[in-house]
Amino acid sequence: MAKSPVIAWIWAARPKTLWAAVAPVLIGTAMAHGNQVSIDGWSLACALFGALLIQIGTNFANDYFDFMKGTDTANRIGPLRATQAGLIRPDLMRRAFLFTFGFALIPGAYIIWRGGWPFVAIGVLSIISGILYTGGPYPLGYLGLGDGFVLIFFGPVAVGGTYYLHALDITSAALIAGVASGLFSVAILAVNNMRDIDEDRRAGKKTLAVRFGRTFARVEYVLCIVIAAFVIPLYFYAETESRLFALVPLVVIPMSMPAIKIVLVTVDGPALNGVLAKTGKILLLFSLVFSLGWILL
């Protein structure tokens, strides 16, 4: 249990998942730089800060709504949830996610000024999706729709949006790179849902893992890693006149193998918790080496 309110709030923010917000901003910025675009420092800072705030707000909202719906119980095998554990009162958690989403409007104001009104729609949809993922009468995560929204918003929308803020233009390459980023985030979600499959089934939370079983979740995880870390770098290698730097992201493949092995052979909760954290680190590494490779192309 947390020894202080500060630690409880840090746990509630789920720092191990935040690389999913950081990675697409790094990739979009690196691609703009590699394409000889002048990097706008305020756009980088606001995109990064805004993405983190929306991700943290979503994590707070999930903590609150999963507790209120009875999904998080004392039998939970995943990482500690602050509301369910009694570390943070439900009313405080509700205020926290509303405040965090509201605070995201500050960097969002510059983003809208720089990128135009389409970013109003992106911001509003991102916040609404963060709340409706587990909130409302028809929560996305409870209907098995979470994977698609994660792929879109942590993928092409985040990478393409960041690229646009620098270049005031968009390329198909940025959107394709966004698919890689989004697939890693889906892989994180797949592990989470596979770990929680029994508890979610009892609570009526019909994730894809609940709908189609553990084997589906395992295949989903492996395919996400393989397509993101292998297929997409090979595509860029072919599209950039065989420049070897496009293959730099392939270094994450051997690092992913231990996590893939655990996913394929175990149902142990603590082991899958470790895979979830490991996949977040692999996503960060991928974003760094992909960015390096793109800059050096």
Mean pLDDT, residues 110-117 taken together: 95
**139-150: pLDDT as tens digits:** 888 999 999 999
Average pLDDT rounded to a whole number, residues 54-68: 93
CA–CA dist 195, 121 (Å, integer): 33
Q: What angle do CA 35, 36, 42 make, to 5 degrees?
A: 100
- Residue type at 94 in one-letter notation: R
DSSP 232-280: HHHHHHHHTTT-GGGGGGGGHHHHHHHHHHHHHH---HHHHHHHHHHHH
pLDDT of residue 246: 84
List alpha helices for 104-153, DSSP H: 105-115, 118-132, 146-153
| Six token digits for residue 271 | 């082991």
Percent of the chain whose pLDDT exceeds 70: 96
| % of the chain exceeding 90 in pLDDT | 71
Residues in Cβ contact with 6 at an 8 Å cutoff, skipping those fewer than 6 apart: none
Identity (one letter) of the amino acid at 128? I
At residue 1, does pLDDT exceed 60? no
- Pairwise pLDDT comparison (278 vs 203), residue with the higher score: 278
State how far the alpha carbon of 295 is from the alpha carbons of 26, 29, 90, in Å: 12, 10, 46
pLDDT attached to residue 118 = 92
What is the rounded average pLDDT for all residues in the chain? 91
Neighbours of 185 (CB within 10 A): 27
pLDDT in tens, 71-83: 766 666 667 788 8
Q: Are 194 and 209 in contact (CB under 8 A)?
A: yes
Look-up of token digits 């606001």: 46
Which domain covers residue 141, as residue numbers? 5-296
pLDDT digits (tens, 9 = 90+) for 156-189: 999 999 999 999 999 999 999 999 999 999 999 9
Q: Rounded to two decimals, what is the model's pTM?
A: 0.93
Does the pLDDT of residue 30 top 70, yes or no? yes
Supply the pLDDT for residue 48. Answer: 96
Q: Residue 18: its pLDDT value, please?
A: 92
Assess contact for 132 and 194: CB atoms under 8 A: no
Number of structural domains (the chain) is 1
- pLDDT digits 0-9 by tens, 225-251: 999 999 999 999 988 776 778 889 999
Under the banding of pLDDT at 50, 70 and 90, the label for residue 2 is very low
Q: What is the pLDDT of residues 194-210, one digit of tens each?
A: 998 988 888 888 999 99
